[in-house]
Amino acid sequence: MKRLAGPATILALALAGYGFLLLHPGSVATAHSDLATFHLVRKQALFDSLRSGHGVPLWQENQLSGGPAFTDPTALYLMPLHVLFWMLPAARAMAPTIWLLLLTAGLATWVLAGELGLTFWPRLLAASAMLFSPKLLLAAYAGWLAYLPTMALLPLFFAAILRLTKEPTARHAAWAAAAGALCLVSGMTQLVYFALFFIAALVLAGREASARVFAWLGIAAALAFGLAAHQLVPFLAERKLFLRQELSYAQFLAGHGQARSLLTLLWPDALGAQAGNVGLELWEDSAHFGFAALLLSLVALWRRRKPALLFGAFLLVTLLFGLDSPVLRAAHAWLPGLSLFRVPSRVLFLGAMFCACLAGLGLEGLPRWAGPVAVLLVAGQGVFEARRLFSRSQPEALDPHPDYAQLIAGDDHRVASAGRAALNAGWAASLHVQIISGYEPLSLRHYQRYFELLRHNGIAPFAPSVWTDLDAVARWDLLDELGVRWVVAEASAKAPPRLQLAQTFPRQPELFFYRGLFHQDLAVYRNPGEQPRARLIGEVVQAAGEDAAVRALQHLDASRTAVVEGAFKGAGTPLLPEEKALLDRFRPGQLAISTHAVAPRLLLVSEVWHPGWRATIDGQAAPVLKADVALMGVAVPAGSHEVGLRFQPLYLWPSVLLSALSVLGCLWLAKSHRDC
């Protein structure tokens, strides 16, 4: 029972401090939150797919005209800590999931503190400092549903590595592999990347480091990658498709790295009021880990014991590495992989863990009464911060009920939002609509280029972007080609003559990032130029690569002519009236199309091209062509045929097999008593 006293106390503290998250699911919806803008659409798509019997979605349709779902690092469909999204509608599962993530952070830190040799009250303090960390609360406030699992699980990873270095056995290698794999698929690769450097320093600084330790560490690392292969391998295989590649130093900083962020150690609002500021993401730069935790960290450093000095050095590195400096510039230039990430100040989330451990080390040796007092002080500040941050929640943002939803919903057409404030793209799945714009941290490069042609008919320099906005249309033929039937706009906006007003809806709920929920009059327009999702094309232009396709598409009418990258053998003549393509069946990632042509034609499908798409014609495999920069084409022969299209992530089944074999390997090691 003594072994359960600590975890039971942490659970009781989580219920007492964050019980409102369980009682009021809408309490986590704030003006600054990613929950409604980004995560709602993915999680609702998961719930709907499971409920309809289609399993975990591999492809999503609700934003940006479609894109990979399962392999997206932020989707986390198989993350154990997101299991509630399998059982509840996304809006209801958000707050309980955040509660579970915070609880896990506390429990994982309890385990890590135990590996540091702390006794009951110091262990409980370290766990409480993580459970109620102002830094993690800011992540919850920001709606970082994909990043919180990484923050919650990294203490467990550190603990497993510490145990393995002390006792290099097969069983401990298995646990280290499992903890590492969970971190690898937890959503915030950037934080795992940073953590690996600290773990390397932790191993090298230990007296127990030996050839046997490094051997088991190597085995654990290989197994960790294998366990995570089902998600990592397909994602790595498609990495070149994304707009974000290596970043310049300015893009890497992304406006962060100010020296004054260090003031937040003692003054939480030194950068501005967290809950009211509508500018820069202050939660990324805040270095406030709690007053009591910081004070006890200083006590630990004053005693100059080895674990405290090591974790103190780690904490100092996190504080300095988030600042714009010559050292950071050199690291960006020379450290492999660092230039793939943005906002280096995110390393401060690791600082929260180091500070929590230091606080526990500082409490060790103090009078017994200091333990309960310190835990209450840490919990008290955390509860205060949570109540302050979530005091102005907007539950309707997670469960919208606009009057226009029934008009525009449908699975055979798409919707365009004329401006980010007209229709929040994050509501797409819950409203059962498909929006051509949206929010995606990992934008597909070729779709962004298509969208630039749609908006400007030009070739813009490409920089990392998370928003694809439709605020202007230069090429209506490209918008028509995406199958856009409805355009939602502010009622006061002047609509182009080609659009037909369907209905005006007064005082509709809208959500604008950082402004929050508000109401305005909206107008819904019918787009008479809508093209079907699948159609035959008579005239085809061939291009040698994407750049050539972009240049060619600038000067062509996409309603009659398509640009294909690579070789295509077709008639190259206008279509006859009897030549048609009919969409027989559609669901995300799967289409069935009937075609009838008098000559070889190009079947153009307005699904976003990805190398994971596979086509069949009458059951026989056929190549999928990249058409009009971002869409798909299939060369169909003359006559009547059945065309099938199905999406599957690259190397999915080999990756799943590798993960399964790694699971068996971990189980074998976990049951083994070998130590060498």
Could you please report the per-residue DSSP string of 648-663?
A: --TTHHHHHHHHHHHH
The amino acid sitting at 241 is: L
Q: What is the DSSP letter of 236?
A: H
**pLDDT tens, residue by residue, 590-608:** 999 999 999 999 999 999 9
Cα→Cα distances 502→119, 410, 476, 497, 508, Å: 69, 16, 19, 13, 16
Three-state DSSP class for residue 43: helix
Is residue 277's pLDDT more than 70? no
Determine the pLDDT at residue 210. 81
pTM, whole model, 2 decimals? 0.94
Three-point CA angle 643, 540, 627, nearest 5°: 60
Is residue 463's pLDDT more than 70? no
Do residues 7 and 109 touch, judged by C-beta distance below 8 A?
no
d(CA 304, CA 300): 7
Q: What is the DSSP letter of 83?
A: G
d(CA 395, CA 26): 4
**pLDDT tens, residue by residue, 367-376:** 999 999 999 9
**pLDDT tens, residue by residue, 69-100:** 998 888 999 999 999 999 999 999 999 999 99
Owner of token pair 């020379």: 334
**pLDDT tens, residue by residue, 101-121:** 999 999 999 999 999 999 999
In the numeric block, which tokens belong to residue 581? Answer: 């393509």
**pLDDT tens, residue by residue, 291-350:** 999 999 999 999 888 889 999 999 999 999 888 889 899 999 999 989 888 889 999 999
Determine the pLDDT at residue 488. 96
Question: What average pLDDT does the chain have?
Answer: 91
Which domains does the chain possess? 71-390 (no CATH), 400-526 (no CATH), 534-605+613-647 (2.60.40)
Is residue 279's pLDDT more than 50? no
Is residue 271's pLDDT more than 90? no
Handedness of CA 630, 636, 641, 642 (dihedral sign): negative
Three-state DSSP class for residue 379: helix
Q: What is the separation of C-alpha 386 from the centre of its chain, rounded to a whole number of angstroms?
A: 23
